[in-house]
Structure 1
């Protein structure tokens, strides 16, 4: 029986996994990615409760009941630092009395706790080639949906599903490709990451799935451009450059993809007169830059005033940050009740420098950990995906608050899969063809 991916000889554990089928917790965690795209819009879909929360709780519960899986996890410094960051933020929320407040609680879950948890659990949830093939296929389908939706939003909005996506009264940034998130940056981040996973699918999958993965790469790339969001454009370019530096064989395909996307983009822009104006407006607009400068300057004043404790978790945008906002001499003040547009600075202003430091170290370790061991074959591909995705996320995090559940879930999930050899004990699904970071010195 084939797994849908190219791999070396199967271990006994993998053979057993093929015979037994995929555990339910694998399906639950994998479906979390597409279902989380609609979080916050359950009412518009006629669903009584957010399905992503349900499958997440189900997956965690089922995994707890499978000690043979999670007992393979190895405690690493990155886990400890993540735990310190989560505990520090929770204490900040408790100290200011908002721990059980809906906005503060979901901010803690969606931005910190669940992403870090997915990083820790990913190595055992997607511990075999067959499970990772399922993950790739689900993300490919997600990329096809998001890329198609982005294109339809611009050329045939009447065909978009769900209809709330093209409702100007729902969400923010109407007029850009924003998908079911109804936020262009969220759509761009997930499109970029889905494109990276789909590129891996082109290399690892076969038959129809390989063709679908290639189409997903193209649609995701076009979709990121149609978000009309500069942080997405910059992050996608940086992620692509990083992949080209790490793997020279991908430089020509990357060039072909870029040229193809540019050609398709020219055709689309020429076909939709208003789209050219939208691109020009986004490339030259300054208001978002002014908002970012104002909130970031206010964040620095908070850190100077309260370096150890900050204002408290989520308290800046709740209104307490208004006391620190000033009218600049050389640019206007256009909005005062928005979040700080820099994630590290936001953590420092709201929870204090010690907790912010733990958070930043945890983020950096999640980028470094997949690079600690170099294996040929499948794991190398996942390393490239993780590096590109983390760089996309980091770029956005330096320019916005990044409150989006799906993007936060997916980036740490991918980093955790790529770091599996470092984060798990021997056994399960060893990556094929071990190659050390430094070649051994030839014997004399």
Structure 2
């Protein structure tokens, strides 16, 4: 075993040196997300004073690659923008909120607060910055779309195999363990919970559509194979927010990329189909049979009302600063005895929040919530600018479409789930945002240079005067 570890270590060092000197940092960010999804703590942990896993080791190595490439001038630094300022202010406020409260407090079954901050925001911030400062070319960005498409094929097949009970074809093997993660019985992939799995499936579906344009002759054939496979896996998550997110993200991308009558036809068909399904199948959707009983499903739905009510009462008590990052689990307890409403508030006693938006509001107050909304809005605005830029090449515009599509995918997850406890979802969002913000910052810098050059007097003009 020690010999195998030594061989693996030597190979990792050699390939690490090659990647550092020749590889794309943006590709490294995508490889990190794949590693975090498939080879995280559930796959392998190493106790070395602190608990290490392959994804954490890879992230540290990726930061090292960034520093070396930055020192060698291999990156493409972009000027800071207001959006970057909002991001740093938001992360800074979360950090202040963490350490100005008792960050040692933990609720039942909750993630340690500092670990929550690290996993949900600091690691994704690192991914954002590396993706932002990497060199963006048509080749590297297209390879990223292709890589996410290939990853989507693996994820979709894994979900289908799970649902069919073909466990011998499911890898990593920890996916088969019902004691790990959540939502066993649904398609949940290596993330071992259906929400994060659905976020990646929805994003991969967008990548398939955007890559189709680049592949030209073979694009439609690839989309015809991958589209139904990904759609089937999304359906098998049996998670309403995942369905809504995938549909919203795809609809955004289709409406912004299609032109004329085709856009009207797609939009009209989508709206009509949604209304028909909503009217005819609403009872079946609300009473969807999943891993529990129908009663469990209705209880889960009613709990969301309890979360909303308790969050509102907490917000009224501390509207500006909130109760402290990560403190909802313990701070909600005094509010569960409220008998002025006909709601089963006690049902949420042992649970963390079920909404990212409400968690940010109750824990960090209006200051944190306003920064959070401004950040999401800033990312959407940056994406919109590069889509509408007259001289932006198609591969740049595709990144803007991907950013808006991903925001559509995660919007419904943030409404119905707290998606910041692990780095999986956040790293994906922040990586796509880093590319979009980087492309927008570079385009605006070039426009300023041209404007300055237009007003600069010709050489020798000052001397002639």
TM-score range, shorter chain: 0.7 to 0.9
- Matching residue of 2:322: 310
- Matching residue of 2:419: 402
- Matching residue of 1:37: 37
Equivalent residue for 1:105, pick from 105, 109, 114 = 114
User: What TM-score do the two structures reach when normalised by structure 2?
Assistant: 0.74
CA distance in 1, matches of 2:363, 2:238: 30
- Matching residue of 2:127: 118
Q: Unaligned stretches of 5+ in structure 1?
A: 1-19, 259-275, 431-444
1:296 aligns to what SS in structure 2? helix
- Is 1:391 equivalent to 2:408 in the alignment? yes
1:381-408 deviations in Å (ceiling 9; x for gaps) = 2222211111111121112111342221
1:352 aligns to what SS in structure 2? helix
Alignment of 1:345-364 (within 5 A): 345-364=358-377
Aligned length: 391
Alignment of 1:12-31 (within 5 A): 22-23=22-23, 25-31=25-31
- Matching residue of 1:56: 59
- Is 1:94 equivalent to 2:104 in the alignment? no
CA distance in 2, matches of 1:21, 1:143: 28
CA shift, 1:128, in A, is: 1.4
Alignment of 1:205-216 (within 5 A): 205=215, 215-216=225-226
1:246-296 deviations in Å (ceiling 9; x for gaps) = 1225759979x99xxxxxxxxxxxxxxxxx954997799322222211122
CA distance in 1, matches of 2:359, 2:315: 9
- Matching residue of 1:296: 308
Equivalent residue for 1:324, pick from 300, 323, 335 = 335
CA shift, 1:415, in A, is: 2.7
Contact 1:196/1:217 (8 A) holds in 2: no
- Matching residue of 1:268: none
Q: Flag the 1:348–1:40 CA change in 2: closer, same or farther, 3 A.
A: same
Alignment of 1:224-303 (within 5 A): 224-248=234-258, 277-278=289-290, 285-303=297-315
Equivalent residue for 1:140, pick from 135, 149, 152 = 149
Q: Flag the 1:246–1:328 CA change in 2: closer, same or farther, 3 A.
A: farther
1:157-195 deviations in Å (ceiling 9; x for gaps) = 423222322322111112111111111111111110111
CA distance in 1, matches of 2:129, 2:265: 32
Contact 2:145/2:211 (8 A) holds in 1: yes
CA shift, 1:420, in A, is: 3.3
- Matching residue of 1:367: 380
Please provide the CA RMSD for this pair: 3.5
CA shift, 1:33, in A, is: 1.5
CA distance in 2, matches of 1:212, 1:79: 36
1:73 aligns to what SS in structure 2? coil
- Matching residue of 2:202: 192
1:65 aligns to what SS in structure 2? helix
Q: Flag the 1:425–1:383 CA change in 2: closer, same or farther, 3 A.
A: closer
CA distance in 1, matches of 2:97, 2:317: 16
Contact 2:185/2:291 (8 A) holds in 1: no
Contact 1:92/1:313 (8 A) holds in 2: yes
Q: Flag the 1:85–1:135 CA change in 2: closer, same or farther, 3 A.
A: same
**Higher normalized helix content (fraction of residues):** 2
Contact 2:379/2:436 (8 A) holds in 1: no
2:64 aligns to what SS in structure 1? helix
Contact 1:30/1:135 (8 A) holds in 2: yes
- Is 1:377 equivalent to 2:394 in the alignment? yes
Contact 2:25/2:131 (8 A) holds in 1: no
User: What TM-score do the two structures reach when normalised by structure 1?
Assistant: 0.78
Q: Flag the 1:227–1:103 CA change in 2: closer, same or farther, 3 A.
A: same
- Is 1:423 equivalent to 2:423 in the alignment? no
- Matching residue of 2:177: 167
